Amino acid sequence: MDELQELEKIRQDGLAALSHVADEAALEAWRVAHLGRNAPVMQVFSRLGQAPKELRPKIGQVANQVKQELEAAFQERATALKQAALQRALTAERLDVTLPGRRPARGRLHPATQNLRRILSILGEMGFQVYTSREVELDEYNFQLLNIPPHHPAREMQDTFYVESPQTDGSYSVVLRTHTSPGQIRAMREFSATNPDNPPPIRVALPGMCFRYEQITARSEVQFNQVEGLVVGRHITFSDLKGTLSDFVRRMFGQNTRTRFRSDYFPFTEPSAEMDVECFVCGGKGCAVCKKSGWLEILGCGMVHPTVLQNGGYDPRKYSGFAFGMGPERQIMLRHKINDIRYFWGNDLRFLEQF
């Protein structure tokens, strides 16, 4: 067979093989086989020197044509394959603009905030106004004006974060509030300043974060919320305290919730009490949450101590009042049987997303 016939065969074989190429990998294999360094058409070029001299121009010219034809066919095939791939992708990945969008994950209120708001809305319905006091307090307001003098043992119940270095007398003057009670003094002073001779009655709810220098364990945290209530006016009695708190608890935990009061001690109230509600987990029958007692301790309360009224600018001979303080996180823990307080400020979404 002479080289010209050979070239015709190379051309036909190449084009025939190309017509079976269906993807990019096969196309590349074809390119190596038919246009690569050892491809038949390339070998014709290498053999050119051996051909009779007068045939060489003709063979060289035809070989070039065949090579160019194969290259053009290769390009065409490559373009067609790319086009087909694009077509497939467009069909497969078609964007259906009529599909509903994917909702972005929605945030929610922290369980402590949810419960805080619930408490405040109930107290609001009962005529309390919200009074937000400061988190960084003077020792004077956090302790002294609440009848807790510098060396009073009651300070030991509230291990304190001191913000400043000690004064010359060894005392500290700025603290992170250990409870919301100093807000009582701030509210009373603000109200009484409007009319010092005849200060107006007060009914306020004081919510917010409190801080104690505690070892962090399942039962104690260095920060927690409290909601404090304060009512001051003329002829406010202990029965007002009992009636108001019983009503609050029924709105909070259900109309049939039973309550009981036990005497207690706080320096800023006299007399003082703890209020229990019937365990809302077992209905009073006794369970692990109420430690088989049927009762849950829910808040501290009492009649505002005369000295505290005085410190707030209210004459204790004319005015009386009651106060109470509760921990919203504790209520959530009891209600949902949460056994570790550290979940609250641990920022673990697995916990937070359940509320």
270 is in an annotated binding site: yes
Q: How far is the CB of 352 from ligand DAH (least distance, A)?
A: 25
Q: Which two tokens stand for residue 139?
A: 């020792």
For ligand DAH, the closer of residues 48 and 154 by Cβ is 154
Query: Least CB distance from residue 260 to ligand DAH, whole Å?
Result: 16
CB of 210 to ligand DAH, least distance (A): 7
Minimum CB–partner distance for residue 150 and ligand DAH (Å) = 18
Q: Which two tokens stand for residue 346?
A: 């641990």
The two beta strands, 136-138 and 269-278, are: unpaired
* CB closer to ligand DAH, 137 vs 228: 228
Query: Residue 158 or 192: which CB sits closer to ligand DAH?
Result: 158
Q: How far is the CB of 143 from ligand DAH (least distance, A)?
A: 11
Closest approach of Cβ 282 to ligand DAH, in Å?
Answer: 26
Which one, 207 or 300, has the nearer CB to ligand DAH? 300
Choose between 30 and 266: whose C-beta lies nearer to ligand DAH.
266
Nearer to ligand DAH, 21 or 303 (CB): 303
Residues 130, 203 contacting (CB under 8 angstroms): no
Whether 264 and 220 have beta carbons less than 8 Å apart is answered as: no
CA 255/CA 107 separation, integer angstroms:
32
Residue nearest to ligand DAH as judged by C-beta position: 325
Tokens of 345: 């400020």
Distance in Å, CB of 308 to ligand DAH, minimum: 10
- Give least dist CB 323 to ligand DAH, A: 3
Contact residues for ligand DAH, defined by CB under 6 A: 179, 181, 228, 266, 269, 300-302, 323-325
Considering the complex, state which of residue 14 and residue 302 has its C-beta at the smaller distance from ligand DAH: 302
* CA–CA separation, 251 and 271 (whole Å): 25
Distance CA 224, CA 1 (A): 98
**In the complex with ligand DAH, which residue's Cβ is closer, 56 or 152?**
152
Residues comprising the binding site for Mg(2+)? 270
Residues comprising the binding site? 270
